[in-house]
Structure 1
Amino acid sequence: MTKKVRVLFVCTANAARSQMAEGLLRAKYGDRYEAFSAGTRQSTLSPDAVAAMREIGIDISHHRSKTLDEVAGQPIDIAVTVCDRAHQVCPLIPFAKKTIHCGFMDPHTVKGAPGDIAGAYRSVRDAMAAWIDREFGGYLPA
């Protein structure tokens, strides 16, 4: 049995982007990866992120916002900062073997009609899904 690669997604509040990335990696490549998420600070799970993920059949409604301190004791192979702010605060996640950065826009900052906000979350979700496919889809753990 091959050991799964453990991936931690990090953003500022662990409310949307890191939560969506965790859900995407689990759903797409859960046979090869264990996915986690945390934030540089704790918040609450974004209902808009939950809705965007539900649209593609991924349920993250059971997730909760966590801080890096909560996951610091776990062995992590790859940490991914998915927002520029988290990357500034934590350019290296000290308990991860490797840290990489791929920043995505913060859909929470979009103002406007509900459709505009939902569209922003979809856009980030879809950009993350494409990046995860490129970054993790072809990788076969040893």
Structure 2
Amino acid sequence: MEKLRILYLCTGNSCRSQMAEGWTRHLKGDVMNAWSAGVEPHGVDPRAVKAMAEAGVNISRQTSKHIDTLGDMEFDFVVTLCGHAQQSCPVFPAKTRVLHVGFDDPPMLAAGSRSEEEAMAHYRRVRDEIKAFVERLPQILMEENESSEQRRTAP
């Protein structure tokens, strides 16, 4: 059976999409191939790398890349993880299902932190939320896709 191809798209491809790619490879690598990209890449966030390493997932070799660098790769699913990426999402072939699953932005939340530990708490929470989402793949994608199709065809 061919693996599902999933792309996680976020603004900077520095944190949430990197975590999602890492979790998918770690937890669902037997059934899914995962990539991540951004609409304005910023480089991989060191705190995201640290938070994932604490959970036993190494994303230190992943790179931050622009969506355009993926060329004409085909995906079964594109999952936008933030509102800006959802609004800026390029057009994909009709067979690609584009879904939005938003998560809080750890760097933004951590900006007002009084300590490194307080900042890391935001990264850990979002890391764990993304893990919970990935654990439900690919079933949750199928359900979301069916639900959005029903909303489009409802009178």
**TM exceeding 0.5:** yes
**Alpha-carbon contact 1:11-1:82 (below 8 Å) kept:** yes
Q: Letter of the aligned partner of 1:28 in structure 2?
A: L
Q: For residues 116 and 93 of structure 1, what CA distance do their matches in structure 2 show?
A: 38
What's the CA shift for 1:135? 3.6
What's the CA shift for 1:53? 0.3
User: Normalising by structure 2, what TM-score?
Assistant: 0.83
Q: For residues 133 and 52 of structure 1, what CA distance do their matches in structure 2 show?
A: 18
Q: For residues 139 and 59 of structure 2, what CA distance do their matches in structure 1 show?
A: 21
Matching of residues 76-95 of structure 1 within 5 Å: 76-90=75-89, 93-95=91-93
Q: Match of 1:37, SS? A: strand
Q: Letter of the aligned partner of 1:126 in structure 2?
A: D
Structure with the higher helix share, 1 or 2: 2
Q: Match of 1:27, SS? A: helix
Q: For residues 81 and 93 of structure 1, what CA distance do their matches in structure 2 show?
A: 13
What's the CA shift for 1:137? 6.1
Q: Match of 2:136, SS? A: helix
What's the CA shift for 1:21? 0.1
The structure 1 segments of at least 4 consecutive aligned residues displaced by more than 3 Å after TM superposition are none
What's the C-alpha RMSD, in Å, of the aligned pairs? 1.8
Q: For residues 57 and 26 of structure 1, what CA distance do their matches in structure 2 show?
A: 12
**1:59 counterpart residue number:** 58
Q: Letter of the aligned partner of 1:74 in structure 2?
A: M
Q: For residues 127 and 31 of structure 2, what CA distance do their matches in structure 1 show?
A: 21
1:134 is aligned to 2:102: no
